[in-house]
Amino acid sequence: MSMHNSNQSPRRRAEGPRGVTILGSTGSIGVSTLDVLARHPDRFRVVALTANTQVERLLEQCRQHRPQCAVMRDRQAAGQLEVRLRESGLATEVLSGEEGLAMAAALQQSGIVVAAIVGAAGLMPTLAAVRHGKRVLLANKEPLVMSGHILMQEANRSGAELLPVDSEHNAIFQCLPGGYRAGVPSPGVRKILLTCSGGPFRTTPLAALTGVTPEQACAHPRWAMGRKISVDSATLMNKGLEVIEASRLFGIAPDQIEIVIHPQSVVHSLVSYADGSVLAQLGNPDMRTPIAHALAWPERIESGVRELDLIEVAQLDFERPDPQRFPCLRLATEAARAGGTMPAILNAANEVAVSAFLGGTIGFTDIPRVIEHVLSRVSMSEENELAVILADDARAREAAERFIVGHPGRLKRGVQ
């Protein structure tokens, strides 16, 4: 895989617009990606769009972007979409299920695949895109946390380009020296500074955290995102997952990654070099910037994002995260240090806990409790093959679900 394969653009131009598949097109990242693509019909062509169950939204996107193929993971939803597309007189081919997602990721007409499904569900389609040598824009961080080394190995084999879209990782990518390769350490880097807004509960009194609702947790002060990542941003598990994501992408030990709370979300991350230089990437908090950057890289294109006005920002604050307020950070750091399948176990436990919180079964402060329980009970494997990772992911989910079902009184105390 390479991130320095920079001399393709003239050839691309001559061949016309580049085909793009968006895995998870109805989500927050998917919609932002379509917004950027629609600004550049000369460069990009939407080839395939995919969603889980949202028929109406995917239908609307098909009407607007005329893809050759649309995939619904849910088979019943796929049937409905097919009927609605024919009623609309559209010829878009409809696929369904896991295999439909993998086919959309592998389509020969798509040179670019945007991985924007949420959670572990994105792993197999992302892997399919990597195996088929695509330029893969990685927003979906969970597959990297679970099996980053497998994605890197497969990319090395196929020549796929892995480009980070997560805003912090895209910022770091922009601050690293040219010639950087995913998974390989860059010379002269002393440390990576990952910035973090602190989420909606940065200053909420600790005692009030047990009672916060999903709506409060999803009301992020700086970014409008899907519900799962919004909860992760409120617990700071998102930052914990991002430490693991950064260590995989940039070939750097978790201990060389420092988290800095930066409430304005203007500095998206920094790279500190041996000579004392610290490089940062700044911009308004809008995912269309990293998406446009990775779509056109190494060129620069319009993204629709408002120019940063430093005078208006006026002040940039930085502080250390409070470990007592954010126990998920410690859990993620422990899992990162343990290595093996521990990050996959952490991720699976977190996915179950977040979904239980969003469903009203457990309280906000129960999320780290569930994860801590799973980390202490589910044994990890040193081996890191895909089958082993998936088996440990399944064991972690079972353990988390059993714990939640087994402690109905103690958990959910916060929302009763």
How many CB atoms are closer than 10 A to CB 202? 18
Q: Which is nearer to ligand NAD, 237 or 411 (CB)?
A: 237
Provide the minimum distance between the beta carbon of 232 and ligand NAD in the complex, in angstroms, as a whole number: 7
Count of residues making up the chain: 416
**Position among 166, 351, 392, 393 found at the interface with Mg ion (CB under 5 A):** 166
Given phi > 0 = left and psi -120 to 50 = alpha, else beta, which region is 151? Answer: alpha
Site string for ligand NAD, 5-44 (x = CB under 6 A): -------------------xxxxxxx--------------
Q: Which CB atom, from 290 or from 327, has the smaller least distance to ligand NAD? A: 290
Residue list 320-349, contact with ligand NAD (CB under 6 A)? none
281 binds ligand NAD (CB under 6 A): no
Q: Are 217 and 200 in contact (CB under 8 A)?
A: yes
Assign residue 345 a region (left: φ > 0; alpha: ψ between -120 and 50; beta: otherwise): alpha
Using CB under 6 A, which of 97, 211, 226, 321 touches ligand NAD?
226
What does DSSP assign to residue 319? B
| Side-chain-side CA neighbours of residue 348 (13 Å) | 26
- 103, 139, 172, 267: which one binds ligand NAD (CB under 6 A): 139
Sign of CA pseudo-dihedral 103, 108, 114, 120:
positive
351 binds ligand NAD (CB under 6 A): no
C-alpha atoms less than 13 angstroms from C-alpha of 239 in its C-beta half-sphere:
28
Q: Is the CB of 30 or the CB of 199 nearer to ligand NAD?
A: 30
Query: 369 touches which of Mg ion, ligand NAD, none (CB within 5 to 8 A by kind)?
Result: none
- The site partner of 29 among Mg ion, ligand NAD, none (C-beta below 5 to 8 Å per kind) is ligand NAD
Of 25 and 167, the one with the shorter C-beta distance to Mg ion is: 167
- 287 touches ligand NAD by CB under 6 A: yes
Q: Count the site residues for ligand NAD by CB under 6 A.
A: 26
135 binds, among Mg ion, ligand NAD, none (CB under 5 to 8 A by kind): none
- What is the DSSP secondary-structure string of 5-74? ----HHHHHHT-SEEEEEETTTSHHHHHHHHHHHT-TTTEEEEEEEESS-HHHHHHHHHHH--SEEEESS
Is residue 284 involved in binding ligand NAD (CB under 6 A)?
no
Contact 161, 1 (CB under 8 A): yes
Cα separation, 49 vs 66, in Å, equals 10
Check binding of 52 to ligand NAD (CB under 6 A): yes
Residue 219 binds to ligand NAD (criterion: CB under 6 A) = no
As a whole number of Å, the end-to-end CA separation of the chain is 51
Q: Using the rule CB under 5 A, is 286 a contact of Mg ion?
A: no
2, 9, 54, 153: which one binds ligand NAD (CB under 6 A) = 54
Point out which span in 162-170, 187-195, 276-284, 304-312 binds Mg ion (CB under 5 A).
162-170
Tokens of 143: 């597959």
On the CB side of 79, CA atoms within 13 Å amount to 2
Window contacting ligand NAD (CB under 6 A); options: 88-96, 111-119, 351-359, 377-385? 111-119
**DSSP at 118:** -
Cα atoms in the 13 Å half-sphere on the side-chain side of 370: 37
Candidates 128-136, 137-145, 332-340, 377-385 — which segment interacts with ligand NAD by CB under 6 A?
137-145
Which tokens is 369 given? 């409790």
User: Rounded to the nearest whole angstrom, what is the least distance from the CB of residue 243 to ligand NAD in the complex?
Assistant: 14
**Per-residue contact flags (x/-) with Mg ion for residues 39 to 78, judged by CB under 5 A:** ----------------------------------------
Q: Which residues have C-beta within 8 Å of that of residue 16, sequence separation ≥ 6?
A: 45
Interacting residue ranges for Mg ion, rule: CB under 5 A: 166-168
Interacting residue ranges for ligand NAD, rule: CB under 6 A: 24-30, 51-52, 54, 73, 116-118, 121, 139-142, 166, 223, 225-226, 228-229, 287
